Amino acid sequence: MNSFDLSILSFLNQFAHRSNTFDQAVVLLSDANLLKGVVIVGLMWWVWFERQDTQRKREAVLAALIVSVPALVVAKILTRVMMRPRPLVDERLQSVLHYGIDKHQLATGELVSQ
């Protein structure tokens, strides 16, 4: 991990275990797929139904959707090939886990709130 990543993750990790409410909000946001996707889907719907130059914009939305599938496959392959440890399990970071994260779930790569 480079020094830039390390400094950002160290800064963000200093807020862990300071507030139970904040930690629960972090766990909620990391587990809630609907909340993470609603911004992108909302933007796509806004572009799709906008009145001006609809044909060109709809083509751009469809192209983005079509290109995103191979991009996700390439990203998944790269994560398997590079074998970089996740930030929560990287020993160099000495991460403090947020309240609500089960330490035993980190081995499987799935964060499950308690």
Q: Is 76 exposed, middle or buried (0-12, 13-18, 19+ CB in 10 A)?
A: exposed
In a domain, 114, yes or no: no
Share of the chain above pLDDT 90, in %: 24
In a domain, 113, yes or no: no
Bridge partners (DSSP) listed for residue 101 = 113
H-run or E-run covering 74: helix 54-82
Count up the domains in the chain and report the number.
Answer: 1
pLDDT tens digits along 64-87:
999 999 999 999 898 888 877 666
Q: What is the dihedral of CA 77, 78, 81, 82, to 10 degrees?
A: -160
Q: How far apart are CA 8 and CA 47, in angstroms?
A: 33
30: containing domain:
3-107
Instruction: Spell out a b/e string for 34-51, using b for 16 or more CB atoms within 10 Å of the CB, else e.
Output: eeeeeeeeeeeeeeeeee
In a domain, 12, yes or no: yes
Q: Which residues contact 23 (CB under 8 A, 6 or more apart)?
A: 16, 17, 98, 99, 100, 101
Q: What is the pLDDT of residue 110?
A: 56
In a domain, 9, yes or no: yes
Q: What Rg, from alpha-carbon coordinates, does the chain have?
A: 19
Q: How far apart are CA 87 and CA 79, in angstroms?
A: 13
Q: What is the pLDDT of residue 58?
A: 93
pTM flag (> 0.85): no
In a domain, 112, yes or no: no
